[in-house]
């Protein structure tokens, strides 16, 4: 393989990675607020997806919004919360607060009782096992490291991906990656994938981005259209 562009490089890498992996999902150029990572690689629990499919009537589902994601990140760490308390946190939504709650109810993410709301157990609704960010560059590897570093706030698993470099350059890249806590992967023209620096996988942080990715994963596995268009409300 001889890549004429970074897009070709990333496309070939994703194809090679998907051939080797099961229970994985790829999101391209996911907006994090700190840039657009080339690849968001998600590993997930099939059992959680299967159980949610049985509970949810998908045809009636509305789009999972950014405020829905913030709400789930808040609720999943708590027990019962008064709806009035939750509503006070979303004053800018005015009469759209009811729409937010309806989305969460439709998706079977929460339960409501006596004007209080509670998240279902996270193990029943959050399917993601691991989130890996990959920043790919054909040449400017220093920029890739800086871009990957900006994503450490929501996942520890951030990698730089480059074509197989010469030994001296490989050592330079590895040294800088270690300094910033970034993983380092090489993809050769023969299609070989080598992890020069392998990071320990950890469960994702409880952030709104993790919940957006979780619901995008659920939607995509149900209807297969790869949609990801979270609304602002």
Q: Are residues 40 and 155 in the same domain?
A: yes
Closest C-alpha among 160, 66, 56, 187 to residue 109 = 56
* Domain housing 171: 6-45+128-197
Residue 209 lies inside a defined structural domain of this protein: no
Q: How much is the CA Rg of the chain, to the nearest whole Å?
A: 20
Q: Are residues 139 and 41 in the same domain?
A: yes
Q: Are residues 53 and 162 in the same domain?
A: no
39-66 pLDDT tens trace: 999 999 999 999 998 888 766 688 999 9
Please state the pTM of the whole predicted model.
0.86
Q: Are residues 104 and 173 in the same domain?
A: no
Q: Are residues 115 and 14 in the same domain?
A: no
Q: Are residues 110 and 170 in the same domain?
A: no
Give bridge partners of residue 119 from the DSSP assignment.
Answer: 110
Q: Number of folded domains in the chain?
A: 2
Average pLDDT of 183-188?
95
Averaged pLDDT score across all residues of the chain: 88
127-138 pLDDT tens trace: 999 999 999 999
The pLDDT value recorded for residue 47 is: 93
Q: Are residues 36 and 143 in the same domain?
A: yes
Strand 110-113 relative to strand 116-119, pairing: antiparallel
Q: Are residues 63 and 178 in the same domain?
A: no
Q: Please list, in sequence order, all residues whose beta carbon lies within 8 angstroms of the beta carbon of residue 142, skipping any fewer than 6 positions away.
A: 176
Q: What's 72's domain CATH number?
A: 1.10.10
Residue 1 lies inside a defined structural domain of this protein: no
């Amino acid at each position: 393989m001889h890549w004429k562009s970074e897009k070709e490089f990333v496309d070939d890498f994703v194809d090679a990675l998907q051939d080797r992996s099961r229970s994985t999902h790829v999101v391209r150029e996911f907006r994090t607020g700190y840039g657009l990572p080339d690849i968001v690689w998600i590993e997930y629990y099939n059992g959680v997806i299967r159980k949610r499919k049985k509970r949810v009537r998908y045809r009636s589902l509305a789009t999972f919004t950014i405020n829905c994601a913030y709400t789930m990140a808040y609720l999943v760490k708590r027990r019962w919360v008064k709806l009035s308390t939750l509503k006070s946190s979303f004053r800018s939504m005015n009469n759209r607060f009811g729409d937010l709650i309806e989305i969460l109810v439709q998706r079977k993410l929460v339960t409501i009782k006596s004007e209080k709301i509670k998240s279902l157990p996270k193990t029943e609704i959050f399917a993601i096992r691991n989130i890996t960010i990959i920043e790919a560059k054909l040449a400017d590897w220093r920029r890739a490291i800086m871009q990957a570093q900006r994503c450490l706030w929501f996942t520890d698993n951030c990698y730089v991906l480059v074509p197989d470099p010469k030994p001296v350059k490989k050592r330079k890249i590895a040294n800088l990656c270690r300094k910033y806590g970034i993983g380092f992967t090489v993809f050769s023209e023969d299609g070989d994938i080598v992890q020069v620096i392998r990071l320990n996988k950890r469960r994702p942080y409880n952030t709104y981005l993790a919940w957006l990715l979780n619901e995008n994963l659920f939607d995509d596995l149900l209807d297969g259209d790869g949609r990801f268009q979270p609304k602002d409300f």
